[in-house]
Amino acid sequence: MKKHGEELIFSGAWVIVIGTIISAIGQTKETTTGTPKGAKLVAQGNAIEAFGNSLQALGNTELFLEEKEPFRMDNIIGCWLQAGGNSTNTVATEIEIHSSEEEGLRLNAVGSGVQGLGAVYEAVGAVAGKSPTKNLEATGNSLVALGAFLDAAGNISILNKLDISGETLELIGSWTQVIGACTELIALAIASNIELTQQKSYSYPYADVGYYWYEPNPYGMI
């Protein structure tokens, strides 16, 4: 059960990286062209991120049921908040494209704020955890939180007619989330390799012990 939970978390991290990259590419198109050409990619990227967050939430839930470690609750809450925030962003971007840009921007600001809060919860859970790379994991989640809050600030700026500043904040925020997601993925990969190495060492505890021939004392002396 523990192994399956860890696999869900690791798989979710990969999915989140893919989602953040797609979303950032879409945001880059929007910012550089000054048109909503990349909005569809942003919506798709956020939907993929939400799926990855859900996988991690399920993985952390499995581990919590087995280990009963309190820090897992922070991770679970954080993952579901991020899933909710990213789902909200997906809906908001679709509203921007097909209906009211203003309403979409407002909803996007809320979604990004919720996502940022979720990433903060995950960072707290990582610091309280037992992973050998917990500081790196916390750094990754903190960067995701920063990126999400920058995106929220960007949406608010655009609502206040500060289009250039807002789009710049959104662009920086989207790529900050990419860096954060990649950092978390690297941390999880390193932690997995460390655990695997420790398991191998435990399986072969006498692997490095030398063997010596016993030579009887020819004089019969002890």
Which of 46-50, 129-133, 161-165 ranks highest by mean pLDDT? 46-50
**Structural domain of 171:** 2-203
Which are the contacts of 219, defined by CB distance < 8 A and separation ≥ 6?
Answer: none
pLDDT tens string 50-107: 999 999 999 999 999 998 999 999 999 999 999 999 999 999 999 999 988 899 999 9
- DSSP element (H, E) containing 92: helix 71-98
Tally Cβ neighbours within 10 Å of residue 134.
18
Asked if residue 219 is part of any domain, the answer here is no
Asked if residue 158 is part of any domain, the answer here is yes
Residue 37 pLDDT = 85
| AA identity, residue 218 | P
DSSP conformational letter for 69: -
pLDDT-derived band at 222 (thresholds 50, 70, 90) equals very low
How many structural domains compose the chain? 1
- The region that residue 209 occupies, defined by phi over 0 for left and psi between -120 and 50 for alpha, beta otherwise, is beta
The Cα–Cα gap between 59 and 57 comes to: 5
Residue 212 pLDDT = 46
Matching residue, tokens 């390799």: 193
Residue 199 pLDDT = 75
SS3 207: coil
Q: How many CA atoms lie within 13 A of 43 on its CB side?
A: 17
Asked if residue 34 is part of any domain, the answer here is yes
Asked if residue 187 is part of any domain, the answer here is yes
Asked whether residue 33 carries a pLDDT value surpassing 60, the answer given is: yes
Asked if residue 79 is part of any domain, the answer here is yes
Question: Which one has a higher pLDDT value, 5 or 14?
Answer: 14
DSSP conformational letter for 38: G
Least confident of 101-105, 149-153, 182-186: 101-105
Asked if residue 212 is part of any domain, the answer here is no
Asked if residue 170 is part of any domain, the answer here is yes
Asked if residue 58 is part of any domain, the answer here is yes
